[in-house]
Chains A and B, each alone.
Chain A
Amino acid sequence: MKKLLLLIFILTLIIVGCAQEPASQPSEEEPAVEAEVEEEEEPAEESSFPERPIEFVASYAPGGGHDTLMRTMLKIIQDEGISDASINVVNKPGGSGAVGMAYVNGHAGDGHYLMAATSSLITTPLTSDVGLTFRDLTPIARLGIDPELLLVNAESDYETLDDLINAGKVLNIGGTSTGGIEHIAAIKLQIIAGVDINYIPYQGDGEVVAALMGNQIDMVFTNPNSAIDYIKSGDFRPIAITTEERVDLMPDIPTFKELGYDIVVNIYRGVMAPGGVSDEVVAYYTNMIEELVATEEWQKDYIERNLIVEGYLPGEEFGEYLEEVYLLYEETLTELGLIK
């Protein structure tokens, strides 16, 4: 009987251990940690960063955009020997990015954290009081941009932007959530190009694409990554793209600008460090990322695979860019009555 009880006890411990896996996850996944542990024992000098393993923080679960970015970066940094520091990817999902932001902000002044940043960096603090803004963090680099494509179903009669402008009725346009980048693009389409639109928010790119596939709506704004296969397969017809210049990956698609309408909106993918970190830390990450974005692997495994438009900006310029983006969102969300 006692033996059996002991067995049960051990089994329970195993089950508990399984459930706790995420806590110990980083050390299990990345063998690099073990190799670097010895280094910690050496006397840490004041000027040598990093002093201990660096955490790459993804504010969404594995498989999400933040996670993909951080893990691809880590893989290339290790494969190409860009840095010999030990680095772990840590997922802090929840609160539309708020949990991850709060986690990194909680380590202000400590450079051993690098966080993936996308539109939620600005929109979540704008729409909810999460006790911090993007200004509390240190911008390190913008890695690329996701433009928006205006698409119609290939079966539709609309061939060009002019057809949409002269449709003579209110057109249903789909995109992701109200107040998001696609909504902003749609509002600009109405104001600048004069297309009469009725915006329908969907949850996620998949639903947007499905709605256009099923002819539920007249047109959509979505990012190239979700649409490219449907353009290739001939299901969707691209009308225009929201970049300054034509994009190498899709050279046949005209920009709104060349069609005579100044609609340039896009979302960014970048990385941020906690606030108040030393110049040395900023220089360390800047060098690391400059080397990273110059590799062929980065072009192939991240930029091309996710159909991102290149747009590297170093820290300070990324910060200025974020201020511009902040103003755009603040203005739009205030006009829509979503924030006061």
Chain B
Amino acid sequence: MEALDNLSIGFVEVMTFYNIMIIFMGSIFGTIVGALPGLGPSAGIALLLPLTFGMPVTTALCLLVGSYMGTMYGGRITAILINTPGDAPAIMTCQDGYPMMTQGKGGLALGISAISSFVGGAFGLIILVFGAPIISKISINFGPPEYFMLMILGLSTITLLAGDKMLKAALMTFFGFAIGIVGSDYVSGYVRFNYHPELIEGIDFVAIIIGLYGIGEVLFNIEKLIHLDLGKPSFKIREFIPSLKELKQITMPTLRGSVIGTMIGILPGAGGTIATFLAYTSEKKASKTPKRFGNGAIEGLAAPEAANNASVPGALIPLITLGIPGSGGTAILLGALIMYGLRPGPLLMVESGTIVWTMIAGLILANVILLISNIMLIPIFINIIKLVQKYLSPIVASLCLLGAYSLNYGMFNIWVVMIFGVIGYGMKKFKYPAGPLILSVVLAPLTENYFRQSLMLAQGKFSIFLLRPISLGILIVILVIAVLSIVNNYRNKAKKRVMAN
């Protein structure tokens, strides 16, 4: 129980009035930043970083990780309220969160997602405290072939999301791949489609998300003259605290989401995003009533939210044990650690153990503060939306453009958002799913790179995917899923035919 001893030392360090206030402010700041479309964990940490230079190291780290966790709580708010996910891991929250909002159960959606976020975060933290050294030892055995297989597993969730619109989903997946090609390719050294300097790093997928979901939704609502009727402002607790029955209903989905989030969140690049997609689709698959998914199923809301938050401590594991950042947010944390005079790497826990444990204690405290404050904030968020529902379209549109500007503080991403807004409108009108498009934009470059790296490693032999046990294991899982879905499809069709006869 050495871990517990260390953690208690961390808690002693953290429990000063100043530190608690700092964590509180960081959490609230993170929640607001995360709620704004376009601003995610990276932006939240980057905005606070320059303010931390005068602070003691532990306080500074508490502020940063508090706001990091806060952005994960915040991302769900706009996803549920206005169908605009702030970042890729929040996309799956829209799937069932926004339908709940339109059914007048937005408060409940926020309440449920806050609780499952808390559980997910807490689960991830437990793994971080007790399992970090072991997990980091396992994770270094993951090379390009294993990552490639995981990307394929992630992409295969598209078939499950697509339902009966398989062809349209496939079309969107290829479109996403085409978008993902743009930008510099470190494997070949070429820069593709670099017609404009801003395209050198590729098209920012956050801008694509804001356009497809935010602006697309606004345009669609204007055309259909949809008036949301969300009712009058009210402050009834029952509207946002889930009942015992509902809590029971989300217990298993939340726990499954937490496990998936922690395990997959450790992966660099797209861990959090893949985790939310896998958590959602596995719930849909496991459910006896999959038809409810996409129409406001609370399990479909709880699982990805738990996965999303569980991925935060997950991404910290490679950072503090190996000095390797697993996500955009942890990449900036890495820079911060170096600026504070720490050396992230295998010796960090040995040389600066107390500071790391204080940071973890701060994260645990932040998770509790965030649960409480997010539940308290629900009536405010809901009632703001209810009050401005008549003017919601222009407000959403301006928030989206503001978010687009803040991605790089330039006009370029505003154009990207507007173009994808029109595309998103067309997709909604003709019922093309947006999820597969975003997933493949995020995963396409990674899939491509891992594939080529694998073949380079094997010096040209395709057998590398079969000769490595972990890679082979994931391949078998993918094949089993594929075979099962095909068999299921045939059975359903056969049943229908029997019924028709």
Contacts and interface: CB of A to CB of B under 8 A. Distances in A.
Interface of A: 4-5, 8, 11-12, 15-16, 18-23, 25, 29, 61-64, 67-68, 71-72, 75, 89, 91-96, 98-99, 102, 124, 127-131, 170, 172, 176-180, 183, 198-203, 206-207, 209-211, 213-214, 216-217, 226, 228-230, 232-233, 235, 301, 305-306, 333, 336, 338
A157 to B, nearest CB: 19
A22 B406 contact: yes
Given A8-B388, A18-B36, A22-B47, A61 B332 contact: yes
B323 A216 contact: no
B200 A201 contact: no
Contacts, number: 182
A209 B201 contact: no
Contacts of B191: 127-128
B459 interface: yes
B133 interface: no
Given A15-B399, A210-B318, 9 more contacts: A4-B233, A21-B47, A61-B332, A127-B194, A178-B189, A183-B189, A210-B139, A210-B322, A306-B338
Which 3 pairs of residues, A with B, have the shortest CB-CB distance?
A63-B335, A178-B189, A177-B186
20 contacts: A15-B399, A18-B29, A19-B403, A20-B402, A22-B47, A63-B333, A67-B335, A68-B335, A94-B408, A96-B200, A128-B184, A198-B459, A201-B189, A203-B186, A207-B268, A210-B324, A216-B144, A228-B345, A338-B188, A338-B189
Contacts of B348: 229
Interface stretch (B309-317, B434-442, B449-457): B449-457
B106 to A, nearest CB: 16
B271 to A, nearest CB: 14
B416 to A, nearest CB: 12
B200 A98 contact: yes
Interface stretch (B48-56, B287-295, B423-431): B48-56
B346 interface: yes
Contacts of A75: 53
B210 interface: no
B388 A209 contact: no
A201 B184 contact: no
B207 to A, nearest CB: 12
Given A4-B387, A75-B53, A99 B143 contact: no
A15 B50 contact: no
Contact of B198 (A15, A16, A94, A336): A94
A99 B42 CA distance: 19
Given A62-B49, A99-B408, A177-B186, A207 B324 contact: yes
Contacts of B268: 206-207
B46 A61 contact: yes
A178 B188 contact: yes
Contacts of A62: 46, 49-50, 332, 335
Contacts of A61: 42, 46, 332
A122 B141 CA distance: 35
Contact of A12 (B53, B141, B395, B403): B395
A170 B341 CA distance: 40
B112 interface: no
Given A63-B46, A71-B53, A213-B140, A128 B194 contact: yes
B488 to A, nearest CB: 37
B408 A230 contact: no
Nearest to B142: A214
A130 B197 contact: yes
B208 interface: no
Contacts of B345: 228-230
Q: Which of A15, A206, A209 has the most CB of B within 10 A?
A: A206
Contacts of A18: 29, 32-33, 36
B48 to A, nearest CB: 9
A197 B268 CA distance: 27
B409 to A, nearest CB: 6
Contacts of A23: 409
